[in-house]
Amino acid sequence: MHLSPFKLERFFAKYEFKAPYLLCTSDCESLSFEELINLDKSYYERIKKFSLGYVNTDGQEELKKEIAGLYTSIGPENIIVTNGAEEAIYLFMNVALNKGDHIIVQYPFYQSLGEIAKHLGANISFWEIEKRDRWELNISYLRENIRDETEVIVMNMPHNPTGYITDKKIFSEITDIARERNILLINDEVYRGLEFNSEDRLPNICDSYDNGVSIGGLSKAYGLAGLRIGWIASQNKNIINEINHYKDFTTICNSGISELLAIFALRHRDYLLRRSLGIINENIKILNDFFTRFSGIFGYFQPKGGTVAFPELKTGQDIEEFCIDLVNKTGVLLLPGNYYDYDNRHFRIGFGRRNMPEALNVFENYIKTII
């Protein structure tokens, strides 16, 4: 089966570098190269001398050590560094799934978390987060839908597009269910570190369960999407070894200089996360206020973390038509929920960028013209 087009990416390809107000992006404000290398005076000298050859397929040892520092049960040997989290997802699905396998995916999902499985001929169950429960996951659904051939359960928390994070008790129940059946449990954790209340931060899945697989990366919480550095971490050495072999056929290795910059970034991870949290904490107040003032038009739950929320347009207008009219008239880009194969009322709004208040202001002026 062919891979279907990545709808969200195709939508972005049309507008991302044209629309002046990107009000639906999921990354945090990017750092400049200068900001990053100025974090320590030795960095520029290291970059100047760095050899621009191939690096290790699984990532340079120094980088894997920095990444391992994010976890409690993971060593460098349990990590493969990838070209963005996107490659990590692609590699994982390809080594974990065969035709006829079954996979349960938290829904709505970032398309690659389900699409690659479909392409591989796996059967997918859509584990829908319940809007009436403020986007909570339904454990009964999980119990009832596990089959003998279920190989993988997929979560993404903090979640794109709702910003939802499950309750810790439910998280631990999910882990227990996967453990009882020895099922691979993957959590896409690229927004981890961006919880509004640090108490909501979940344990890394790779630390919680020996068949847990954490997907991480620098694109979102660390504001370094252009480095294209992601990773996969698991105590399950078979999965890690197989992914390493598979990577020889995708990218062979990552950009060495990006890996060097990633090493610098992770040495200052607390600073970078504080920087991103500073931006989203400011922006979320403005966003909450906006949705309170326009509660007649929009339904909205404040996200618990991450950089995006998934409000509903209550006027009955088709969401894609609404978003296209908005971007054409004002240059403000929102992402219609149908790009998640969800419905034609919800849309994704992002608050990770510094110009969010300005973009929201332009959006507000548009809203006032239609009510």
Ligand X SMILES: Cc1ncc(COP(=O)(O)O)c(C=O)c1O
Chain positions contacting ligand X, by CB under 6 A: 26, 84-86, 110, 156, 160, 188, 190, 217, 219, 225, 230
Residues contacting residue 44 through CB under 8 Å, at least 6 positions apart: 37
Shortest separation between residue 86's beta carbon and ligand X, angstroms: 3
Q: Give the nearer residue to ligand X in terms of CB position, either 60 or 219.
A: 219
d(CA 368, CA 77): 56
Shortest separation between residue 182's beta carbon and ligand X, angstroms: 25
Burial (CB < 10 A; 0-12, 13-18, 19+), residue 362, is middle
Q: Give the nearer residue to ligand X in terms of CB position, either 158 or 330.
A: 158
DSSP string computed for 48-62: HH---S---TT--HH
The 3-state DSSP class for residue 20 equals coil
Side chain identity, residue 41: K
Q: Give the nearer residue to ligand X in terms of CB position, either 194 or 313.
A: 194
Residue whose C-beta lies closest to ligand X: 84
Shortest separation between residue 120's beta carbon and ligand X, angstroms: 18
Q: Give the nearer residue to ligand X in terms of CB position, either 108 or 311.
A: 108
User: How would you write 191-204 as a 3-class SS string?
Assistant: CCCCECCHHHCCCC
Q: Give the nearer residue to ligand X in terms of CB position, either 255 or 361.
A: 255
Q: Give the nearer residue to ligand X in terms of CB position, either 223 or 230.
A: 230
Contact 179, 209 (CB under 8 A): yes
- The count of C-alpha atoms lying within 13 angstroms of the C-alpha of 193, restricted to the half-sphere facing its C-beta, is 27
d(CA 354, CA 363): 16
Contact 218, 230 (CB under 8 A): yes
d(CA 217, CA 254): 13
Shortest separation between residue 268's beta carbon and ligand X, angstroms: 19
Shortest separation between residue 160's beta carbon and ligand X, angstroms: 4
Q: Give the nearer residue to ligand X in terms of CB position, either 153 or 330.
A: 153
Shortest separation between residue 253's beta carbon and ligand X, angstroms: 16
What tokens does 255 get?
């950009």
Q: Give the nearer residue to ligand X in terms of CB position, either 330 or 347.
A: 347
What tokens does 275 get?
């920087």
Shortest separation between residue 19's beta carbon and ligand X, angstroms: 17
d(CA 331, CA 41): 40
Shortest separation between residue 217's beta carbon and ligand X, angstroms: 4
Write the DSSP symbol of residue 332: E
